[in-house]
A = this chain, B = another copy of it.
Amino acid sequence: MATRVLTPQGEDFPRWYQDVIAKAELADHGPVRGTMVIRPDGYAIWERMQSDLDARIKATGARNAYFPLFIPESYLRREADHVEGFSPELAVVTRAGGKQLEEAVVVRPTSETVIGEYLAKWVQSYRDLPLLLNQWANVVRWELRPRLLLRTSEFLWQEGHTAHASEADARAYTERIHVDVYAAFMRETLAMPVVLGRKSAAERFPGASNTLALEAMMRDGKALQMGTSHELGQNFAKAFGITYLSEQGREELAWTTSWGTSTRMLGGLIMCHGDDRGLRVPPRLAPVQVLVTIVKDGAGVAAAARQIVADLRAEGLRVELDDRVDLPFGRRAVDAELKGFPLRVEVGPRDLVEGVVVLARRIDRSKRSMPLGEARSAARSALIEDQDALYAEALAHRESHTAKVSSIEDAVEAARTGWATIPWSTLGAEGELRLAEAGVTVRCLTMPDGSIPPSEEADGALAVVGRAY
């Protein structure tokens, strides 16, 4: 038995999570409480998330922009629910350029207010609508109980902000982001099954008239909210004066939306796919899909390994060479498993004499010898298969850890190890309060066929409940 590298998940899941982040060198604590450092191996995954998601967002017609970090405190006060929701988490700059500021400025916790000001300026006529903006930025929400990547005082995210001429258009766009962008990205690229639903009134974004959420199950049975999309109704349009001249020449209030996903997805990825050996990064996402490893030096080994790297790259794969033969092979293998490279191709002198290499798959730790000439197509197929297999495994885990119940007691019991679904008509806002006493929350409301309920009152709507990060 090899030395234990990580605390096993079954023994202490939160400690396993911390161990993976530290040992796989994904992130670290910042010097100011609650902040974080995203290390190169973690950041490389985030960059891949960004570029994939960014292309999907742009395909809806949204354009990137950048709005200031600092927001006048007075802006937040303009929307009552919004300021109430965010006030406890604000970081405030009171001194700058060597002087006390006349009006303190807050470090953005989210940008509805400052972007609202500019939407008001830029939207004049119905011809300017819809106006679809997105930004990649850092935001600050002071955290009392920080947890790396999941809940940090500063995090990175994208936040979309749009203005529309009608409620129907705002709703359709919110759902498009939710279903066609976010859920598709999580399913196709992160290999994470997500439940799509609407938040109950108690769980809505401060200032929203409707919040859609994507919930994923972690391997300990808890839920993680992976992204949200909000219909803001005319709340921010009223607060900031976002009006337009309609085709009929009338002045109308616009309808706005906002939607975001963050570095928290990195935490979700770790906890959805990771195992006792470390991270398992889905092939489509992985910054390095194949690690070609020289087992040991020998005649022609380095040249053969380099040729494999070149061949795989010619297939369009992302490949790195591990030629650190001065380090023990075993230690490098443990490290590669920790970091979750989907595939390794091991090239060693003995195998090479026989014209074979070993293909090692991270997903199930299986190893297979094959003729050198087959490595290329075998790698390509394995990457496709393992992307799907990771998704299937996560989905099976969720399904086997979700109970259909019809009482609050059973829901609380199910939430000890996973989720429960319970008819919303049975639970209701009052049942939601009772669940909260047991540390269980309504993650979202969803329809039995997985679609989003048109309203809280929709016939047949189910509450998905569980403990959550």
List residues of A whose CB falls within 8 A of some B CB.
28, 30-32, 35-40, 43-44, 46-47, 63-72, 75, 87-98, 104-105, 107, 114, 117-118, 121, 133, 137-138, 140, 142-144, 153-154, 156
Contact = CB atoms under 8 A, between A and B. Distances in A.
A38 B37 CA distance: 26
B67 A30 contact: yes
Contact of A39 (B30, B65, B98): B65
A184 to B, nearest CB: 23
A44 B63 contact: yes
B71 A31 contact: yes
8 contacts: A30-B114, A31-B75, A37-B67, A37-B118, A40-B133, A92-B95, A94-B94, A138-B138
The 7 closest A-B pairs by CB, nearest first: A97-B142, A30-B68, A40-B63, A35-B68, A38-B66, A91-B96, A92-B95
Contacts of A98: 87-88, 90
A446 B91 CA distance: 45
A366 B144 CA distance: 63
Nearest to A117: B31
Given A93-B91, A96-B91, A68 B107 contact: no
A108 to B, nearest CB: 10
Contacts of A90: 96-98
A386 to B, nearest CB: 25
Given A96-B92, A97-B88, A98-B88, A138 B69 contact: yes
A457 B399 CA distance: 74
A20 to B, nearest CB: 18
A154 B35 contact: no
